[in-house]
Structure 1
Amino acid sequence: MKSLLVTLDKAGDFDEIVDVRTPLEFAEDHIPGAINAPVLSNEERVLVGTTYKQVSPFEGTRLGAALVARNIAHHLETTFADRPRNWRPLIYCWRGGKRSGSVTTLFNMIGWQARQLDGGYKSYRRATLDTLDTLPKTFTYIALVGPTGSGKTRLLSALNQAGAQTLDLEALASHRGSLLGAWAGVPQPSQKRFDTLLVSALRGFDPGQPVFVEAESRRIGSITLPLALLETFHRGACVEVRSSREDRATFLLHDYAHLFDHPEHLKEQLQKLIGLHSRERVTGWLGLVDENRRAELAGELIERHYDPAYARSSDQHFDQLPNALQLDFRPNDADVVEQAKALLAQLESRTLVAG
């Protein structure tokens, strides 16, 4: 079988990449562009593992072989029924073992020029982590710094529309980054999936142009940002985004409308602030939720929670914050793209952005 093994750097030589792991494994993360053709379902993999441990390795292996053979036959009649004779697929499983080996062997017997990824998904995962140690350092970043509600995410989107390179970490993480930042009805990706998405995003950038990124701490919800990225953009240039308290409150009311529409969930989230704030204060906020006093609650959170947290953390994280260009941003206005273009012009005059 050694002649059928190829390393990850050869992946681009193939017509298609086929992930034969279970749907759950595939959903957690997979090589970009791969299709999923599982040789064991989620339930079948559990059954084989249980049989292997509780009955005997022989019985577990025999059961697995029968299930894999049946599922490969199904894929040949459906998923791969239209593949031409000269098709060249790259097959992988978790670590380049029996699942991908079985498919690769059978495909070659059919006449396809199939190859097995040496080391499987684990080799891809190691390569991803190695890339995240080095690739983020090859770019120059401009961080958008400012308190919650100032519209940094909206400005980042407007900069993208204005033609700038932007890295939207919150979009990749499916989370706004704050305690109340969970997206309604949208689970966060796994850490592995986030890392894959981040590498793909970084590889799309031109190192000769700066990348705008919103200021973030180490964690965005359940996701941890790679240190190489954090350390690089924390040392880079900053734009301090400033908005009026009224604009910020209005922005929060709009941005967190889904939370206000589900008061019990909002109260659960607010109760997590006990410890950072007194029980009495949090109880008062819960009362504002019960009374649907949204604007008052937004103002309280800005004044009592978000602004003090920003004051504590920003100076510690961003070396260039004292030299930051200050932008008076109106996040609720219709001309946010024009505001972004004006910012780019200001930065160009400072030679931070090439014209």
Structure 2
Amino acid sequence: MNLPLTTDFETLLLSDTPLIDVRAPVEFEKGAFPSSVNLPLMNNEEREAVGTCYKEQGSRKALELGYSLVQGEIKEKRVKAWCDFIDAHPNAVLYCFRGGDRSRISQEWLHEAGYEIPRIKGGYKAFRRYILEEFENVGSRFTPIVLGGTTGSGKTILLQKIKQSVDLEGLAKHRGSAFGRQIEPQPTQINFEHELAASLLKKIKSGMSEIVVEDESRKIGQREIPPALFSRFKEAPLLILEVPIAQRVETILKEYVSGFQRQFTERFGDEEGLKAWEETMLRSFHGIQRRLGGLRHSELVSIFDEAVRSQESSGKLEGHRVWIEALLREYYDPMYEYQIEQSKERIVFRGNESEILAYLEQRMEK
């Protein structure tokens, strides 16, 4: 049966093509592609049984076992799930791990049901190899511009106003600091790389020769920026966003206290949500205990606790400003000053938000 194949990985990535991943859930959870949905041909147990049979008795017996496990009502249910997805996304493409039997069988069963869609030649493995190769040379296809600034200066807020930007922290679902953990779990390293590749390539293909990213460490939470790309960022021109400390305190208060609390209460309810937020913050305090020193750590945790109790009784957030400013002055700012000293030769501009936007607009017009 001569059914369509595709190796146009660039189009699949850039156009957010809907993808049907027919691998087992355990494979999907390790990593998949943007815009993919897991509608497996076999579940985890069935896949394991077929894999064992393949090792012990060969491919023919493994195929026979697979067909016997997925038949009748089970087969009908899985084919219907694929058909329903294609009805909603007529341009869908499917894939398995290597583009072999699982995607071929799925494609044939869809053909029997009256649906014809392409499958990825080489499957997940080939698509993944393409993305890794892109990371090796993507840095040479654009000029990165790095946006730096002290903690709380609003770099992420500014990035959202810059069309030629990629939000690394947004893709990693982490704010990049000891207190940067978000309510949603971070993506797998593989998924982070896929999303990053797609974001950068979309900017490049739209004609952007310069792309602004935030100044980050190699690791954002538990996710790592690919080495070749990170090396380019560490050599790039550096812009410094300068903001008064009072404004920085208000930004942190809005993002990490009122905003973060709202996320938790929407997820868990008022009482449980605030408790979960408090526990998350205390874990973050614990993570910087050694650098702060035991005594100062205890003092700041006590101030934080007083702020929480005050908020519970009065509904006001004022007490949180005390520990926020202390952390900025005593923990974050000294680290920032040291790091920026190491990169001072890369600094090409300093200014507030409007000045940096004006600088970038003038630069992009050249």
TM-score of the pair, normalised by structure 1: 0.79
- Which of 301, 306, 314 is the matching residue for 2:332? 306
**Which position in structure 2 is the counterpart of 1:327?**
351
**Which position in structure 1 is the counterpart of 2:70?**
68
More helix by share: 2
Bigger shift: residues 71-80 or 245-254: 71-80
Structure 2 residue 146 is the aligned partner of structure 1 residue 133: no
Unaligned runs of 5+ in 2: 262-273, 308-318
8 A contact 1:234–1:319 mirrored in 2? no
C-alpha deviation, 1:92, in angstroms: 1.8
Q: Secondary structure at the match of 1:271?
A: helix
How has the CA–CA distance of structure 1 residues 63 and 289 changed in structure 2, closer, same or farther, with 3 Å as cutoff?
A: farther
8 A contact 1:150–1:243 mirrored in 2? yes
The 5 A counterparts of 1:151-162 are 151-159=154-162
C-alpha deviation, 1:276, in angstroms: 2.2
- Which of 20, 25, 28 is the matching residue for 1:26? 28
* CA–CA separation in structure 2 for the residues paired with 1:76 and 1:220: 39
1:53-111 deviations in whole A, cap 9, x for unaligned? Answer: 9x965887655332334544323345327979xx9975421122332232234445667
Q: Secondary structure at the match of 2:165?
A: strand
* CA–CA separation in structure 2 for the residues paired with 1:147 and 1:12: 38
8 A contact 1:344–1:353 mirrored in 2? no
Bigger shift: residues 286-295 or 98-107: 98-107
Structure 2 residue 356 is the aligned partner of structure 1 residue 343: yes
Unaligned runs of 5+ in 1: 330-338
* CA–CA separation in structure 2 for the residues paired with 1:6 and 1:297: 58
**Which position in structure 1 is the counterpart of 2:175?**
176
How has the CA–CA distance of structure 1 residues 16 and 233 changed in structure 2, closer, same or farther, with 3 Å as cutoff?
A: closer
* CA–CA separation in structure 1 for the residues paired with 2:221 and 2:110: 43
Structure 2 residue 83 is the aligned partner of structure 1 residue 80: yes
Matched residue type, 1:270: F
The 5 A counterparts of 1:1-355 are 6=5, 8-9=7-8, 17-46=19-48, 52=53, 63-70=65-72, 71-80=74-83, 90-107=93-110, 116-159=119-162, 164-184=163-183, 186-205=184-203, 206-257=206-257, 261=274, 262-292=277-307, 293-317=319-343, 319-321=345-347, 324-329=348-353, 339=354, 342-349=355-362, 352-354=363-365
* CA–CA separation in structure 1 for the residues paired with 2:92 and 2:246: 57
8 A contact 2:147–2:240 mirrored in 1? yes
8 A contact 1:235–1:318 mirrored in 2? no
State the number of aligned residues: 329
CA RMSD of aligned residues (A): 3.4
How has the CA–CA distance of structure 1 residues 38 and 168 changed in structure 2, closer, same or farther, with 3 Å as cutoff?
A: same
Bigger shift: residues 71-80 or 265-274: 71-80
How has the CA–CA distance of structure 1 residues 11 and 65 changed in structure 2, closer, same or farther, with 3 Å as cutoff?
A: farther
